[in-house]
Structure 1
Amino acid sequence: MELKTPLYDAHVKAGGKIVPFAGFLLPVQYETGVIKEHMAVRTQAGLFDVSHMGEVLCKGKDALANLQKILTNNFENMVDGQARYSIMCNEKGGTVDDLIVYKKGENDYFIVVNASNTEKDFKWMLDHKFGDVEFINVSADYAQLALQGPKAMEILRKLTTEENIPKKYYHAVFDAEVAGIPCIVSKTGYTGEDGVELYLDSKYAEKMWDKLLEAGKEEGLIPCGLGARDTLRMEAAMPLYGHEMNDDVDPLETGLSFAVKMDKPDFIGKAAIEAKGTPKITRVGLKVLGRGVIREEQEIFAGGKLIGHTTSGTHCPFLGYPVGMALIDPEYAQLGTKFEVEVRGRRIEVEVVALPFYKRGK
């Protein structure tokens, strides 16, 4: 039985095509279609309902020590309001999930996890906690809206004042107010564009949604669904749990070494990652040279040799051509290397290109 986000009725009213996703009923697209929604975010602005994401509080005098042990990144030198991306590994070094940790204050953290993993992640935290710490699953209390695109900040400024807007990327203002509604304003996103994610009490979700769409009319703001969210994250080469990483793939293998601090005294999975040595697989970006579109879990061949598999793939509306990400033998990972992906019984030529595929102009 799928859950509904607090914005379910708003999506139906706006003509959203509703599909089950991560245990929720969410719009995959609106009548505008995925391509127009994608292009709106790249050129103007788009609004997403991401209320399906999970939120967990971590507090107590051993909160920091718990984060240091359970997660791969280092949280010691964070300032209040700062956010940090991290991986949560299992004992084998595989990925339980990727998540974002915000420091609210001393011994007080706000963690955002992937929707489909909320229960699994929360249980993992409870099973591995120690000392004076409390993990509280507050997912049901929060709605989350993502306002993304080059005009996003312009729209936001119509509804709030500067002190409510984080000055830097990966920072948040916790006691903010937008359109008179209390919320957390976070300068983060999953599209490769400028913008914010707003966390607020579920009961105000529809009011905030309407206020943002009204404020963004002149700037071309439109509601966007899961389809555009996926094509946008693909162009920005942002990894997705269950695709570029899973319980068997460690964060170094999927190119996330920036979020893994091997110089920390210890974290769950560290010994296993060290024991593996140099990664035997690596994540690469692929540009399709032949005809066709590549998808996930397709085999990759160099000559007659199987060298890896695709993890995600799609046609990118802004770039105008199909791309994919893959986990392959590092020997073949040099930029410009060409090989073939097997798509429904035929092989399509691809070339290794730099990631991200798309980078917004500063």
Structure 2
Amino acid sequence: MNIQDIAAIKAVEEGVAICDRTHWGRIQITGDDRLRFLHNQSTNDFESLKSGQGCDTVFVTSTARTIDLATAYVSDDAVILLVSPNRREYLMQWLDKYIFFADKVELADVTEATCTFNLIGSKSDEIIQKLTAGELIGQPLHSHNVYNVASVNGVSIAVGSSLASPGYTLICPVSDKEILWNQLLEMGAVEMGQTAWEALRITQGRPLPERELTDDYNPLEVGLWQTISFNKGCYIGQETIARLNTYKGIKTYLWGIKLNSLVEAGSTINLGEEKVGILTSITETTDGYFGLGYIRSKVGGIGLKVTIADSQGEVVEIPFVSHQYPD
């Protein structure tokens, strides 16, 4: 890792970093049926949400295979979905396919007109105070409101960094991007590049499409319990997820793996001579290498010693996901 990446990750632990996530997609859903529509298309409970609230939700196939992990922000007249860069166009087409003639739902891709920043770190509250958005401090995850920040009007600020670390998500018009970015740097935020963000993503266990979120896995195997409502009615993929939960039928789990040398993503995870899983992501850290991988549940979890190619590894917990069945 270079000096800038190390400084940014240190800032997350001791101060606050700022990361530009403008390349992520932003889809706007409007119309009177928008909450019911999203309620029926993804795993979380939208119909219980009020303006100023939000949630993480997973879009899945009819057999509950993962498409994307998205964050939704509900306002008086719209829902904004923050989606992965490589799922933006796919989800626009996917959602449009399920809008029927009588549905009062409209989709708009507002990615090019907006930008997204994340404040990440233990002292992000201090910057939120400076932005006169202190009312958000201590509020539930994804709580949000719109603020006029210095010379920038209409900045949406939400609780949550999109990672396991504390922080906030800011969305503003793209025309004000440079002004807001510079203001946040002046307030003490340390710039975080994409390499450092990716390292943080992997060490914290946030899954990404084409890595951990693929046609091979469902949200329970990933460990995204917090994104799933088991009490709401039918939605795409609901029957499979309900059956897996009821019968505790999860056969593989996503884990973190500390490694002593670099290996390639896609490599086989082995326990002795037995193939027990696959490595999905890997990054360099300040104390070695760290990977994410799926491992068969029957062979164990935290503390398990594995080999991947010529590297020795140990399975560890990752804070973004959970492998506990809800009570």
Assess same fold via TM > 0.5.
yes
The Cα shift of 1:89 comes to 0.6
Q: Is the 8 A contact 1:310 1:326 kept in 2?
A: yes
The Cα shift of 1:274 comes to 4.9
Q: Which amino acid aligns with 2:40?
A: K
Alignment of 1:191-206 (within 5 A): 191-206=163-178
The Cα shift of 1:154 comes to 1.3
The Cα shift of 1:357 comes to 9.0
Q: Is the alpha carbon distance of 1:274 and 1:194 closer, same or farther for their aligned partners in structure 2, counting shifts above 3 Å?
A: closer
- CA deviations 1:178-237 (Å, max 9, x no partner) are 223121011111343322111001000001111111121xxxx32110011011122222
Alignment of 1:24-103 (within 5 A): 32-103=3-74
Q: Which amino acid aligns with 1:205?
A: K
Give the equivalent residue in structure 1 for 2:161.
189
Give the equivalent residue in structure 2 for 1:236.
204
The Cα shift of 1:315 comes to 3.0
Q: Is the 8 A contact 1:294 1:323 kept in 2?
A: no
Q: CA RMSD in A?
A: 2.3
- CA deviations 1:100-146 (Å, max 9, x no partner) are 111112x6322111112111111111011232211221111111111
Give the equivalent residue in structure 1 for 2:147.
176
- CA deviations 1:27-65 (Å, max 9, x no partner) are xx9x84322222122222212111111111222222122
Give the equivalent residue in structure 1 for 2:324.
none
Q: Is the alpha carbon distance of 1:274 and 1:196 closer, same or farther for their aligned partners in structure 2, counting shifts above 3 Å?
A: closer
Structure 1: 5+ residue stretches without partners: 1-28
Q: Is the 8 A contact 1:300 1:307 kept in 2?
A: yes
User: 337, 340, 347: which one pairs with 2:304?
Assistant: 337
Q: Is the alpha carbon distance of 1:357 and 1:87 closer, same or farther for their aligned partners in structure 2, counting shifts above 3 Å?
A: closer
- CA deviations 1:337-358 (Å, max 9, x no partner) are 222112xxx2x22222222299
Q: Is the 8 A contact 2:68 2:208 kept in 1?
A: no
The Cα shift of 1:275 comes to 6.1
1:306 aligns with 2:275: yes
Alignment of 1:189-338 (within 5 A): 189-216=161-188, 221-274=189-242, 278-288=249-259, 291-317=260-286, 320-338=287-305
Alignment of 1:100-119 (within 5 A): 100-105=71-76, 108-119=78-89
- CA deviations 1:85-111 (Å, max 9, x no partner) are 010011221112110111112x63221
Q: Is the alpha carbon distance of 1:208 and 1:62 closer, same or farther for their aligned partners in structure 2, counting shifts above 3 Å?
A: same
Question: Identity over the aligned pairs, expressed in percent?
Answer: 26
Equivalent residue of 1:241, what SS? coil
Q: Is the alpha carbon distance of 1:82 and 1:166 closer, same or farther for their aligned partners in structure 2, counting shifts above 3 Å?
A: farther
Q: Is the 8 A contact 2:68 2:83 kept in 1?
A: yes
Give the length in aligned residue pairs. 315
Give distance in 1, aligned partners of 2:72 and 2:51.
11
Q: Which amino acid aligns with 1:150?
A: S
Give distance in 2, aligned partners of 1:211 and 1:312.
34
Of the structure 1 ranges 140-149 and 255-264, higher mean CA displacement relative to structure 2 is found in 255-264
